[in-house]
Structure 1
Amino acid sequence: MQDEERQPVTYVSDKVPEEKMAELVGTTKRALEGKRSRGVIPEGVWKKIDGRIFYSIRRYEAWLEGSWGYPLESNSSANQSGSVLLATVNVGPKLSHTPRPPRGSKRQPIYALK
């Protein structure tokens, strides 16, 4: 019985509804909706069918792997070259710009409540 509990969940179809996808990736349906509406998750990963949102597990995993931004480590024992990116970073305070009124303009009157 313990072996049955440890088996990964498999699906007959690659397409699952948004609620099930949220459960699979360990997030909420609302979080997936937000990522979808902001364009974080591209439309090729999800599709609206009959008013419901379905996700492709295979495409989601491919998109997720592609978003890492670096290639996977190779199994070869060859020497791998590395590169270091050096950049100048300004750590001074960031000044916010407050628009000033034009010269000669009248100031708004200040009223005191009594």
Structure 2
Amino acid sequence: METQSTGDVDKVTEQRMADLLGCTKRSLEHRRQRGTIPEGVWIKHGGRIIYSKKRYDEWLESQWIYPEGSKSSVAPSAFVSHGTVSVDVKRSPSPRHKKASKLHPSFAIR
């Protein structure tokens, strides 16, 4: 009977998943309870929470936002050449400050 090495195991306990993500078990539990990590990435089995590393990776990858028209499979943040990146920025509808009057102030002479 052949056993799998730890790297090939997909289903892991909540503690092991926290270790893999570099966070505490409590932090991971809070993310799960708030719905930050969706059900389907984890299941409750026999009173224990079990995570699927594969499903977690798929869910995490789905969180990336790719620019329209991008045909690259590389994440947008992987390569940056300073000075060549253009970003569309939408300004918030905030009121503009009025410029001061260009008229000279008048002085009263006594």
2:105 is aligned to none
Residue 68 of structure 1 deviates from its aligned partner by 2.1
1:88 is aligned with what amino acid?
S
Matched, 1:47 2:47: no
3-state secondary structure, aligned to 1:86: coil
1:85 is aligned with what amino acid?
V
Instruction: Determine the C-alpha separation between the residues in 1 that align with 2:41 and 2:26.
Output: 17
**1:29-108 alignment, distance < 5 Å:** 29-70=25-66, 72-73=75-76, 84-90=88-94
3-state secondary structure, aligned to 2:91: coil
2:7 is aligned to 11
2:88 is aligned with what amino acid?
V
Instruction: Determine the C-alpha separation between the residues in 1 that align with 2:46 and 2:14.
Output: 13
2:21 is aligned to 25
Identity of aligned residues (%): 49
3-state secondary structure, aligned to 2:27: helix
TM-score, length-scaled by structure 2: 0.59
Instruction: Determine the C-alpha separation between the residues in 1 that align with 2:93 and 2:27.
Output: 33
TM-score, length-scaled by structure 1: 0.57
2:19 is aligned with what amino acid?
E
Residue 33 of structure 1 deviates from its aligned partner by 0.3
1:22 is aligned with what amino acid?
A
Aligned residues: 78
Gaps of 5+ in 2: 68-74, 77-85, 96-110
RMSD: 2.9
